[in-house]
Amino acid sequence: MLEISDLDVHYDGVHALRGLSLTIAAHEIVALLGNNGAGKTTTLSAISGLVRPSGGKVVFEDKDITGLAAHKITSCGLVHCPEGRRIFSTLTVHDNLLLGGYLVRDQAEVRKRIDRVYDLLPRLAERRAQQGGTLSGGEQQMLAIGRALVTGPRLLLLDEPSMGLAPLVVAQVMELIADINASGTAVLLVEQNASAALKIAHRGYVLESGQGTLSGTADALRSDPRVVEAYLGGA
């Protein structure tokens, strides 16, 4: 469904991504692991059009989307849920969700999708009239994911959804991601919390200094001594 080949990204002289290749099949959760500064966020930004790659190719559902503007990529059904949640803080929860439905002309369809999000995340329904910025970190993450769902993604890019959340909340977020995937959406999950990510992922890639160094099924990665050493805290 998504095929990235030899992707290069430069930021003002910094070579942030060096020839990364990666594939995601329909209905898959793929984890992208790596330390700070390894290029995980850059990878997502290059896929979703926030950053223009300097080389390589991004093909989504047999369509070359390399270097396309971000809003056009979203309209293809490839949706990026950015790092740090990026809730529209002074808009209400409901307005945030409505913005997810910006591209959907049919208002009844938008309403249906938002209702589905409220069903999935009843906490958001309770707080629909509240400003997004007043929610707790976990709720904001749920809202960010809910907002992305309203756009109707076939592939969802999630950047560090567990960041700054308590372990119990991390578990809830991961469960939500697994549910979303079970209903047919493919997920590319970027995580520093490798153990949480590998629990729900089918496959994974490890990124170091802008290069893919390891890849395999989640089980294989979990038992790989190099992964255990570097990302799963020894054990």
Partner 1 sequence: MTQLVWNGLFVGSFYALVALGYSMVYGIIKLLNFAHGDLYMLGAFSGFAVLSALGGVATAMTLPVLLAVLLMTMVSTGLAGVVLERVAYRPLRGAPRLSLLITAVGASFAIEYGMRIVAGPDPQVYPVRLSGTAIEVFGAWFTLQQLVLIGVAVVLMVGLNLLVTRTREGRAMRAIALDPRTSSLMGIDVNAVISRTFFIGSALAGAAGVMAGAYYGKIDFLMGFLIGLKAFTAAVIGGIGNISGTMLGGLVLGLLESFGTYWLGGEWRDVFAFGVLILFLTVRPTGLLGERVTERV
- Give me the residues that bind partner 1 (CB under 8 A), please: 48-50, 69-71, 74-75, 79-82, 84, 86, 88-91, 95, 98-100, 102-103, 131, 133-137, 140, 147, 151
Residue closer to partner 1, measured from CB, 63 or 71: 71
Closest CB to partner 1 among 37 and 84?
Answer: 84
CB of 90 to partner 1, least distance (A): 6
The residue (of 44 and 230) whose beta carbon lies closer to partner 1 is 44
Q: In angstroms, give the least distance from the CB of 135 to partner 1.
A: 7
Q: How far is the CB of 129 from partner 1 (least distance, A)?
A: 14
Q: Which residue, 189 or 230, has its beta carbon nearer to partner 1?
A: 189
Region label for 58, one of left (φ > 0), alpha (ψ between -120 and 50) or beta (otherwise): beta
Residue 25: both structure tokens together: 């099949």
Q: How far is the CB of 108 from partner 1 (least distance, A)?
A: 14
Q: Which of 25/103 has CB closer to partner 1?
A: 103
Q: What is the 3-state secondary structure (H, E, C) of the chain?
A: CEEEEEEEEEECCEEEEEEEEEEECCCCEEEEEECCCCCHHHHHHHHHCCCCCCEEEEEECCEECCCCCHHHHHHCCEEEECCCCCCCCCCEHHHHHHHHCCCCCCHHHHHHHHHHHHHHCHHHHHCCCCEHHHCCHHHHHHHHHHHHHHCCCCEEEEECCCCCCCHHHHHHHHHHHHHHHHCCCEEEEEECCHHHHHHHCCEEEEEECCEEEEEEEHHHHHHCHHHHHHHCCCC
- Shortest distance (Å) from residue 183 CB to partner 1: 21
- The distance of closest approach from Cβ of residue 88 to partner 1 in the complex, given in angstroms and rounded to an integer, is 5
Q: Is 40 or 80 the residue whose CB approaches partner 1 more closely?
A: 80
